[in-house]
Amino acid sequence: MNTADLGLPVDVPSTALFTDQYELTMLRAALKAGTAERRSVFEVFTRRLPNGRRYGVVAGTGRVLDAVENFRFDPGVLGFLRERRIVDEETLEWLAGYRFSGDIWGYPEGEVYFPGSPILRVEGSFAECVLLETVILSILNHDSAIAAAASRMASAAGDRPLIEMGARRTHELAAVAAARAAYVGGFATTSDLAAGFRYGIPTVGTSAHAFTLLHDRERDAFQAQVETLGRGTTLLVDTYDVAEAVRTAVEVAGPELGAVRIDSGDLLLVAHRVRQQLDELGATDTKIIVTSDLDEYAIASLAAAPVDAYGVGTQLVTGSGHPTSSMVYKLVARADSADPKAPLVPVAKKSSGGKMSVGGRKWAARRLDADGTAEAEVVGTGPVPAELADRQLLVPLVRGGTVVAREPLDVPRERHIAARANLPLSATQLSRGEPVIPTEYVHGRSGS
Protein backbone atom coordinates (compact mmCIF):
# COMPACT_ATOMS: atom_id res chain seq x y z
CA MET A 1 0.00 0.00 0.00
CA ASN A 2 1.28 3.46 -0.83
CA THR A 3 0.78 5.58 2.29
CA ALA A 4 2.44 8.74 1.00
CA ASP A 5 -0.75 10.74 1.48
CA LEU A 6 -1.11 9.86 5.17
CA GLY A 7 1.72 12.04 6.43
CA LEU A 8 3.69 11.51 9.61
CA PRO A 9 3.83 13.21 12.99
CA VAL A 10 7.44 14.08 12.07
CA ASP A 11 6.31 16.06 9.01
CA VAL A 12 6.52 19.84 9.29
CA PRO A 13 3.41 21.90 8.50
CA SER A 14 5.23 24.00 5.88
CA THR A 15 8.38 23.66 3.80
CA ALA A 16 8.63 27.42 3.20
CA LEU A 17 11.53 27.94 5.61
CA PHE A 18 13.56 25.08 4.14
CA THR A 19 15.32 27.81 2.24
CA ASP A 20 18.23 30.22 2.44
CA GLN A 21 17.64 33.82 3.42
CA TYR A 22 19.00 35.17 0.16
CA GLU A 23 16.08 33.64 -1.74
CA LEU A 24 13.79 36.05 0.15
CA THR A 25 16.07 39.04 -0.16
CA MET A 26 16.31 38.44 -3.93
CA LEU A 27 12.54 38.29 -4.03
CA ARG A 28 12.25 41.55 -2.11
CA ALA A 29 14.65 43.30 -4.49
CA ALA A 30 12.97 41.87 -7.57
CA LEU A 31 9.57 43.03 -6.39
CA LYS A 32 10.94 46.53 -5.87
CA ALA A 33 12.69 46.51 -9.28
CA GLY A 34 9.62 45.27 -11.12
CA THR A 35 11.38 42.13 -12.40
CA ALA A 36 9.80 39.57 -10.07
CA GLU A 37 7.12 38.54 -12.56
CA ARG A 38 9.44 37.95 -15.50
CA ARG A 39 8.91 34.48 -16.93
CA SER A 40 11.92 32.35 -16.01
CA VAL A 41 13.36 28.87 -16.45
CA PHE A 42 15.56 27.27 -13.80
CA GLU A 43 17.28 23.92 -14.26
CA VAL A 44 18.81 21.41 -11.86
CA PHE A 45 21.94 19.66 -13.07
CA THR A 46 25.37 18.56 -11.93
CA ARG A 47 28.60 19.52 -13.64
CA ARG A 48 30.29 16.26 -12.69
CA LEU A 49 29.58 12.93 -11.05
CA PRO A 50 31.28 12.05 -7.76
CA ASN A 51 34.81 10.81 -8.32
CA GLY A 52 34.74 7.29 -9.75
CA ARG A 53 30.99 7.05 -10.27
CA ARG A 54 29.83 5.93 -13.71
CA TYR A 55 26.23 7.20 -13.53
CA GLY A 56 23.87 9.02 -11.19
CA VAL A 57 20.39 8.03 -10.03
CA VAL A 58 17.46 10.47 -9.83
CA ALA A 59 15.75 10.07 -6.46
CA GLY A 60 13.59 12.28 -4.29
CA THR A 61 11.29 13.50 -7.06
CA GLY A 62 8.19 12.43 -5.17
CA ARG A 63 9.42 14.27 -2.09
CA VAL A 64 10.09 17.37 -4.19
CA LEU A 65 6.47 17.35 -5.35
CA ASP A 66 5.31 17.13 -1.73
CA ALA A 67 7.62 20.00 -0.79
CA VAL A 68 6.32 22.24 -3.58
CA GLU A 69 2.72 21.59 -2.53
CA ASN A 70 3.55 22.36 1.11
CA PHE A 71 5.54 25.52 0.35
CA ARG A 72 3.16 27.87 2.14
CA PHE A 73 3.84 30.93 4.26
CA ASP A 74 1.40 30.43 7.11
CA PRO A 75 0.90 33.03 9.88
CA GLY A 76 3.59 31.52 12.10
CA VAL A 77 6.17 31.59 9.33
CA LEU A 78 5.22 35.13 8.32
CA GLY A 79 5.44 36.20 11.95
CA PHE A 80 8.97 34.85 12.19
CA LEU A 81 10.03 36.72 9.04
CA ARG A 82 8.43 39.93 10.34
CA GLU A 83 10.00 39.63 13.78
CA ARG A 84 13.48 39.11 12.31
CA ARG A 85 12.92 41.88 9.75
CA ILE A 86 14.11 39.59 6.99
CA VAL A 87 11.74 41.16 4.46
CA ASP A 88 9.45 44.18 4.36
CA GLU A 89 5.66 44.31 4.61
CA GLU A 90 5.17 44.41 0.85
CA THR A 91 7.13 41.18 0.47
CA LEU A 92 5.31 39.59 3.41
CA GLU A 93 2.00 40.39 1.75
CA TRP A 94 3.21 38.73 -1.46
CA LEU A 95 4.45 35.67 0.43
CA ALA A 96 1.13 35.27 2.27
CA GLY A 97 -0.55 34.37 -1.01
CA TYR A 98 2.29 32.24 -2.38
CA ARG A 99 1.26 29.18 -4.36
CA PHE A 100 3.53 27.80 -7.04
CA SER A 101 1.54 28.16 -10.27
CA GLY A 102 4.18 27.22 -12.82
CA ASP A 103 5.30 24.04 -14.54
CA ILE A 104 7.94 21.51 -13.54
CA TRP A 105 9.46 18.96 -15.90
CA GLY A 106 12.03 16.39 -14.89
CA TYR A 107 13.70 13.06 -15.37
CA PRO A 108 11.30 10.50 -13.90
CA GLU A 109 12.37 9.18 -10.53
CA GLY A 110 14.61 6.12 -10.79
CA GLU A 111 16.09 7.23 -14.13
CA VAL A 112 19.87 7.57 -14.45
CA TYR A 113 21.61 10.83 -15.26
CA PHE A 114 25.01 12.19 -16.29
CA PRO A 115 26.96 15.47 -16.12
CA GLY A 116 24.88 18.22 -17.68
CA SER A 117 21.60 16.28 -17.63
CA PRO A 118 18.73 18.77 -16.99
CA ILE A 119 17.36 16.63 -14.17
CA LEU A 120 14.64 19.12 -13.26
CA ARG A 121 13.28 22.17 -15.09
CA VAL A 122 11.19 24.70 -13.15
CA GLU A 123 9.23 27.31 -15.13
CA GLY A 124 7.18 30.25 -13.91
CA SER A 125 7.76 33.78 -12.68
CA PHE A 126 11.20 34.52 -11.28
CA ALA A 127 9.63 35.18 -7.89
CA GLU A 128 7.83 31.88 -7.53
CA CYS A 129 10.67 29.77 -8.97
CA VAL A 130 13.62 31.27 -7.10
CA LEU A 131 12.07 30.50 -3.70
CA LEU A 132 12.14 26.75 -4.40
CA GLU A 133 15.88 26.49 -5.02
CA THR A 134 17.11 25.37 -1.62
CA VAL A 135 14.42 22.85 -0.76
CA ILE A 136 14.62 21.23 -4.21
CA LEU A 137 18.41 20.93 -4.03
CA SER A 138 18.29 19.72 -0.44
CA ILE A 139 16.03 16.82 -1.40
CA LEU A 140 17.57 15.86 -4.73
CA ASN A 141 21.19 16.12 -3.57
CA HIS A 142 20.58 13.88 -0.58
CA ASP A 143 18.23 11.32 -2.07
CA SER A 144 20.11 10.94 -5.34
CA ALA A 145 23.38 10.36 -3.46
CA ILE A 146 21.78 7.61 -1.38
CA ALA A 147 20.10 6.03 -4.41
CA ALA A 148 23.38 6.01 -6.36
CA ALA A 149 25.14 4.21 -3.50
CA ALA A 150 22.20 1.80 -3.21
CA SER A 151 22.31 1.09 -6.93
CA ARG A 152 26.02 0.23 -6.80
CA MET A 153 25.39 -2.04 -3.82
CA ALA A 154 22.46 -3.71 -5.59
CA SER A 155 24.63 -4.35 -8.65
CA ALA A 156 27.31 -5.89 -6.44
CA ALA A 157 24.74 -8.01 -4.58
CA GLY A 158 23.19 -9.49 -7.71
CA ASP A 159 20.08 -11.47 -6.85
CA ARG A 160 20.74 -11.37 -3.11
CA PRO A 161 18.44 -8.95 -1.25
CA LEU A 162 19.67 -5.88 0.61
CA ILE A 163 18.31 -4.61 3.92
CA GLU A 164 18.53 -0.88 4.76
CA MET A 165 19.64 -0.52 8.40
CA GLY A 166 21.04 3.02 8.63
CA ALA A 167 18.51 4.89 10.78
CA ARG A 168 20.80 5.07 13.80
CA ARG A 169 23.63 6.51 11.72
CA THR A 170 21.96 9.70 10.50
CA HIS A 171 19.39 12.36 11.40
CA GLU A 172 16.01 10.86 12.24
CA LEU A 173 14.24 12.54 9.31
CA ALA A 174 17.12 11.92 6.92
CA ALA A 175 16.83 8.24 7.83
CA VAL A 176 13.29 8.10 6.45
CA ALA A 177 14.34 9.80 3.23
CA ALA A 178 17.39 7.53 2.97
CA ALA A 179 15.28 4.40 3.29
CA ARG A 180 13.03 5.67 0.52
CA ALA A 181 15.96 6.47 -1.77
CA ALA A 182 17.59 3.11 -1.02
CA TYR A 183 14.39 1.35 -2.03
CA VAL A 184 14.39 3.22 -5.34
CA GLY A 185 18.04 2.22 -5.81
CA GLY A 186 17.38 -1.48 -5.33
CA PHE A 187 17.15 -2.31 -1.61
CA ALA A 188 14.39 -4.75 -0.69
CA THR A 189 13.51 -3.79 2.88
CA THR A 190 14.22 -1.34 5.69
CA SER A 191 14.49 -1.60 9.46
CA ASP A 192 13.05 1.91 9.86
CA LEU A 193 9.38 1.79 10.82
CA ALA A 194 8.77 5.44 9.97
CA ALA A 195 9.85 4.69 6.38
CA GLY A 196 7.53 1.71 6.33
CA PHE A 197 4.62 3.80 7.58
CA ARG A 198 5.30 6.82 5.37
CA TYR A 199 6.13 5.04 2.12
CA GLY A 200 4.92 1.47 2.41
CA ILE A 201 8.44 0.00 2.24
CA PRO A 202 8.60 -3.59 3.61
CA THR A 203 10.13 -3.61 7.11
CA VAL A 204 12.20 -6.28 8.87
CA GLY A 205 13.97 -6.79 12.17
CA THR A 206 14.44 -9.35 14.94
CA SER A 207 17.01 -8.78 17.72
CA ALA A 208 20.33 -7.21 18.65
CA HIS A 209 23.19 -8.30 20.90
CA ALA A 210 21.48 -6.60 23.83
CA PHE A 211 18.73 -9.21 23.75
CA THR A 212 21.25 -12.03 24.05
CA LEU A 213 23.16 -10.22 26.81
CA LEU A 214 19.90 -9.70 28.72
CA HIS A 215 19.58 -13.43 29.33
CA ASP A 216 21.66 -15.67 31.57
CA ARG A 217 22.41 -18.01 28.68
CA GLU A 218 22.49 -17.59 24.92
CA ARG A 219 20.17 -20.60 24.71
CA ASP A 220 17.59 -18.79 26.83
CA ALA A 221 17.64 -15.79 24.48
CA PHE A 222 17.24 -17.99 21.41
CA GLN A 223 14.43 -19.94 23.06
CA ALA A 224 12.55 -16.74 23.96
CA GLN A 225 12.89 -15.37 20.43
CA VAL A 226 11.80 -18.59 18.74
CA GLU A 227 8.84 -19.03 21.06
CA THR A 228 7.75 -15.46 20.31
CA LEU A 229 8.56 -15.08 16.60
CA GLY A 230 8.54 -18.66 15.38
CA ARG A 231 11.12 -20.97 13.88
CA GLY A 232 11.41 -18.82 10.78
CA THR A 233 13.08 -16.01 12.74
CA THR A 234 16.68 -14.82 12.34
CA LEU A 235 19.03 -15.50 15.25
CA LEU A 236 22.12 -13.37 15.86
CA VAL A 237 25.00 -15.80 16.36
CA ASP A 238 28.15 -13.74 17.00
CA THR A 239 27.63 -12.43 20.54
CA TYR A 240 29.99 -15.04 21.97
CA ASP A 241 31.29 -18.07 20.06
CA VAL A 242 29.81 -18.39 16.57
CA ALA A 243 30.13 -22.15 16.19
CA GLU A 244 28.54 -22.80 19.58
CA ALA A 245 25.77 -20.29 18.83
CA VAL A 246 24.93 -21.94 15.50
CA ARG A 247 24.76 -25.33 17.18
CA THR A 248 22.49 -23.96 19.91
CA ALA A 249 20.32 -22.12 17.38
CA VAL A 250 19.59 -25.29 15.43
CA GLU A 251 18.98 -27.26 18.61
CA VAL A 252 16.43 -24.65 19.74
CA ALA A 253 14.68 -23.93 16.43
CA GLY A 254 15.35 -27.15 14.56
CA PRO A 255 16.31 -27.35 10.88
CA GLU A 256 13.39 -25.03 10.10
CA LEU A 257 15.37 -22.07 11.50
CA GLY A 258 14.84 -19.16 9.10
CA ALA A 259 18.24 -17.51 9.20
CA VAL A 260 21.30 -16.64 11.23
CA ARG A 261 22.94 -13.22 11.23
CA ILE A 262 26.69 -12.58 11.42
CA ASP A 263 27.74 -9.08 12.47
CA SER A 264 31.49 -9.28 13.01
CA GLY A 265 34.72 -11.00 12.08
CA ASP A 266 36.06 -12.09 8.71
CA LEU A 267 32.68 -12.40 7.03
CA LEU A 268 33.96 -14.40 4.06
CA LEU A 269 35.62 -17.00 6.25
CA VAL A 270 32.90 -17.10 8.91
CA ALA A 271 30.11 -17.42 6.31
CA HIS A 272 31.76 -20.48 4.75
CA ARG A 273 32.21 -22.10 8.16
CA VAL A 274 28.64 -21.35 9.22
CA ARG A 275 27.21 -22.69 5.97
CA GLN A 276 29.13 -25.92 6.37
CA GLN A 277 28.02 -26.25 9.98
CA LEU A 278 24.36 -25.55 9.18
CA ASP A 279 24.39 -28.14 6.41
CA GLU A 280 25.98 -30.73 8.68
CA LEU A 281 23.28 -30.03 11.27
CA GLY A 282 20.56 -30.57 8.68
CA ALA A 283 19.57 -26.88 8.46
CA THR A 284 20.22 -26.77 4.74
CA ASP A 285 17.49 -24.16 4.10
CA THR A 286 18.59 -21.81 6.87
CA LYS A 287 19.84 -18.60 5.33
CA ILE A 288 22.87 -16.52 6.26
CA ILE A 289 22.56 -12.74 6.62
CA VAL A 290 25.68 -10.63 7.05
CA THR A 291 26.00 -7.09 8.40
CA SER A 292 28.92 -5.00 9.79
CA ASP A 293 29.87 -1.78 7.98
CA LEU A 294 29.29 -3.13 4.50
CA ASP A 295 29.69 -1.06 1.35
CA GLU A 296 29.59 -1.99 -2.34
CA TYR A 297 33.19 -3.18 -2.30
CA ALA A 298 32.67 -5.43 0.72
CA ILE A 299 29.48 -6.79 -0.85
CA ALA A 300 31.33 -7.54 -4.09
CA SER A 301 34.08 -9.32 -2.15
CA LEU A 302 31.44 -11.64 -0.69
CA ALA A 303 30.04 -12.67 -4.08
CA ALA A 304 31.54 -16.14 -3.76
CA ALA A 305 30.51 -16.55 -0.13
CA PRO A 306 27.43 -18.57 0.87
CA VAL A 307 25.57 -15.41 1.88
CA ASP A 308 21.85 -14.96 1.27
CA ALA A 309 21.29 -11.30 2.19
CA TYR A 310 23.17 -8.18 3.26
CA GLY A 311 22.29 -5.56 5.85
CA VAL A 312 23.79 -2.13 5.18
CA GLY A 313 23.75 0.96 7.39
CA THR A 314 26.43 3.62 7.73
CA GLN A 315 27.90 3.45 4.23
CA LEU A 316 24.47 3.60 2.62
CA VAL A 317 23.04 6.60 4.48
CA THR A 318 26.27 8.55 3.90
CA GLY A 319 26.26 7.87 0.16
CA SER A 320 29.19 5.47 0.48
CA GLY A 321 31.65 8.32 0.71
CA HIS A 322 29.68 10.77 -1.45
CA PRO A 323 26.84 12.22 0.69
CA THR A 324 25.81 14.80 -1.92
CA SER A 325 25.31 14.77 -5.68
CA SER A 326 26.66 18.33 -6.18
CA MET A 327 23.52 19.40 -8.05
CA VAL A 328 22.92 23.10 -8.69
CA TYR A 329 19.81 25.15 -9.55
CA LYS A 330 20.53 27.77 -12.18
CA LEU A 331 18.54 30.36 -14.11
CA VAL A 332 19.03 29.42 -17.79
CA ALA A 333 16.42 31.59 -19.53
CA ARG A 334 14.20 34.54 -18.70
CA ALA A 335 11.96 37.05 -20.43
CA ASP A 336 13.00 40.69 -20.76
CA SER A 337 9.68 41.94 -19.39
CA ALA A 338 6.70 40.82 -17.34
CA ASP A 339 4.63 40.38 -20.50
CA PRO A 340 3.56 36.70 -20.57
CA LYS A 341 4.17 36.66 -24.32
CA ALA A 342 7.70 38.05 -24.10
CA PRO A 343 10.20 35.56 -25.59
CA LEU A 344 12.73 33.79 -23.40
CA VAL A 345 16.35 34.95 -23.55
CA PRO A 346 19.10 32.41 -22.72
CA VAL A 347 21.26 33.41 -19.74
CA ALA A 348 24.28 31.67 -18.25
CA LYS A 349 26.99 32.09 -15.67
CA LYS A 350 30.34 32.73 -17.39
CA SER A 351 32.74 32.75 -14.45
CA SER A 352 35.91 30.67 -14.44
CA GLY A 353 36.84 27.90 -12.04
CA GLY A 354 34.65 25.18 -13.49
CA LYS A 355 31.37 26.83 -12.53
CA MET A 356 30.14 27.86 -15.97
CA SER A 357 26.64 26.91 -17.05
CA VAL A 358 24.94 26.50 -20.43
CA GLY A 359 22.09 28.89 -21.14
CA GLY A 360 18.75 28.10 -22.73
CA ARG A 361 15.69 25.98 -21.96
CA LYS A 362 16.86 22.42 -22.56
CA TRP A 363 15.56 19.06 -23.60
CA ALA A 364 17.38 15.75 -23.11
CA ALA A 365 17.31 12.42 -24.89
CA ARG A 366 19.31 9.22 -24.67
CA ARG A 367 20.69 7.90 -27.93
CA LEU A 368 20.87 4.12 -28.28
CA ASP A 369 23.14 1.98 -30.40
CA ALA A 370 21.99 -0.77 -32.78
CA ASP A 371 21.64 -3.19 -29.87
CA GLY A 372 19.43 -0.85 -27.85
CA THR A 373 22.18 0.09 -25.37
CA ALA A 374 22.63 3.71 -24.35
CA GLU A 375 25.57 5.37 -26.11
CA ALA A 376 25.12 9.08 -25.37
CA GLU A 377 23.16 11.59 -23.29
CA VAL A 378 22.12 14.27 -25.75
CA VAL A 379 21.20 17.67 -24.29
CA GLY A 380 20.04 20.54 -26.45
CA THR A 381 18.05 23.71 -26.93
CA GLY A 382 15.55 24.45 -29.67
CA PRO A 383 13.91 21.74 -31.80
CA VAL A 384 14.47 18.09 -30.87
CA PRO A 385 16.02 16.09 -33.74
CA ALA A 386 13.49 13.71 -35.28
CA GLU A 387 15.62 10.66 -34.55
CA LEU A 388 15.53 11.49 -30.81
CA ALA A 389 11.89 12.53 -30.55
CA ASP A 390 10.81 9.25 -28.97
CA ARG A 391 13.84 9.09 -26.64
CA GLN A 392 13.18 12.26 -24.65
CA LEU A 393 13.78 12.01 -20.92
CA LEU A 394 11.95 14.93 -19.32
CA VAL A 395 8.33 14.31 -18.36
CA PRO A 396 5.73 16.71 -16.90
CA LEU A 397 5.62 16.66 -13.11
CA VAL A 398 3.63 19.82 -12.33
CA ARG A 399 1.32 21.71 -14.71
CA GLY A 400 -0.05 25.10 -13.75
CA GLY A 401 0.86 24.45 -10.12
CA THR A 402 -0.91 21.07 -10.00
CA VAL A 403 1.07 17.86 -9.45
CA VAL A 404 0.43 15.46 -12.33
CA ALA A 405 3.01 12.72 -11.76
CA ARG A 406 2.42 11.00 -8.45
CA GLU A 407 3.22 7.29 -8.54
CA PRO A 408 3.64 4.39 -6.09
CA LEU A 409 7.24 3.90 -4.97
CA ASP A 410 7.51 0.55 -6.72
CA VAL A 411 7.28 2.35 -10.08
CA PRO A 412 10.57 4.31 -9.79
CA ARG A 413 12.18 1.24 -8.27
CA GLU A 414 11.33 -0.85 -11.35
CA ARG A 415 12.19 2.09 -13.62
CA HIS A 416 15.68 2.20 -12.18
CA ILE A 417 16.25 -1.50 -12.76
CA ALA A 418 15.29 -1.02 -16.41
CA ALA A 419 17.37 2.16 -16.81
CA ARG A 420 20.47 0.56 -15.35
CA ALA A 421 20.03 -2.50 -17.55
CA ASN A 422 19.98 -0.20 -20.59
CA LEU A 423 23.47 1.12 -19.85
CA PRO A 424 26.71 -0.41 -21.14
CA LEU A 425 27.87 -3.33 -19.01
CA SER A 426 30.79 -1.31 -17.67
CA ALA A 427 28.30 0.83 -15.72
CA THR A 428 28.26 -1.80 -12.98
CA GLN A 429 32.04 -1.91 -12.58
CA LEU A 430 33.20 -0.65 -9.20
CA SER A 431 36.60 0.43 -10.49
CA ARG A 432 37.12 4.16 -10.99
CA GLY A 433 36.24 5.52 -14.39
CA GLU A 434 34.54 8.23 -16.39
CA PRO A 435 30.74 8.43 -16.87
CA VAL A 436 29.68 5.33 -18.75
CA ILE A 437 28.26 7.38 -21.63
CA PRO A 438 29.26 10.91 -22.76
CA THR A 439 27.07 13.99 -22.70
CA GLU A 440 26.68 15.69 -26.08
CA TYR A 441 25.29 19.20 -26.53
CA VAL A 442 23.14 20.30 -29.46
CA HIS A 443 22.84 24.09 -29.55
CA GLY A 444 19.85 25.86 -31.05
CA ARG A 445 17.32 28.52 -30.16
CA SER A 446 16.13 28.37 -26.57
CA GLY A 447 12.46 28.56 -27.54
CA SER A 448 9.74 30.57 -25.89
pLDDT higher than threshold 60 for residue 302: yes
- Superfamily of domain 21-131+329-442 in CATH is nicotinate phosphoribosyltransferase (3.20.140.10)
Q: Which of 3-12, 232-241, 347-356 has the highest mean pLDDT?
A: 232-241
Distance CA 123, CA 155 (A): 36
Distance CA 335, CA 345 (A): 6
Distance CA 373, CA 431 (A): 21
pLDDT given for residue 353 in this prediction? 64
- pLDDT top residue among 85 and 351: 85
pLDDT given for residue 149 in this prediction? 98
User: How large is the average pLDDT for residues 379-405?
Assistant: 96
Highest CATH level, class, for 176-321: alpha beta
**Rounded to the nearest 10 degrees, how much is the dihedral formed by the CA atoms of 332, 334, 336, 340?**
160
pLDDT tier at 82, thresholds 50, 70, 90 = very high
How many residues make up the chain in this entry?
Answer: 448
Q: If DSSP codes are grouped into helix, strand and coil, which group holds residue 44?
A: strand
pLDDT given for residue 354 in this prediction? 64
Q: If DSSP codes are grouped into helix, strand and coil, which group holds residue 190?
A: strand
pLDDT given for residue 235 in this prediction? 98
Tens of pLDDT, residue by residue over 93-131, are 999 999 999 999 999 999 999 999 999 999 999 999 999
pLDDT tier at 352, thresholds 50, 70, 90 = low
Paired sense of beta strands 112-113 and 56-57, if any: antiparallel
pLDDT higher than threshold 80 for residue 228: yes
Q: If DSSP codes are grouped into helix, strand and coil, which group holds residue 374?
A: strand
- What is the chain's alpha carbon radius of gyration, rounded to the nearest angstrom? 25
Paired sense of beta strands 56-57 and 103-106, if any: unpaired
pLDDT tier at 361, thresholds 50, 70, 90 = very high
For the chain, the domains span: 21-131+329-442, 176-321
Distance CA 156, CA 139 (A): 26
**Mean residue pLDDT across the chain:** 94
pLDDT given for residue 13 in this prediction? 64
pLDDT given for residue 389 in this prediction? 94
pLDDT higher than threshold 60 for residue 9: no
Tens of pLDDT, residue by residue over 198-212, are 999 999 999 999 999
pLDDT given for residue 432 in this prediction? 83
21-131+329-442 and 176-321 agree in CATH topology: no
User: How large is the average pLDDT for residues 391-408?
Assistant: 97
pLDDT given for residue 8 in this prediction? 45
pLDDT tier at 406, thresholds 50, 70, 90 = very high
User: How large is the average pLDDT for residues 364-393?
Assistant: 96
pLDDT higher than threshold 70 for residue 45: yes
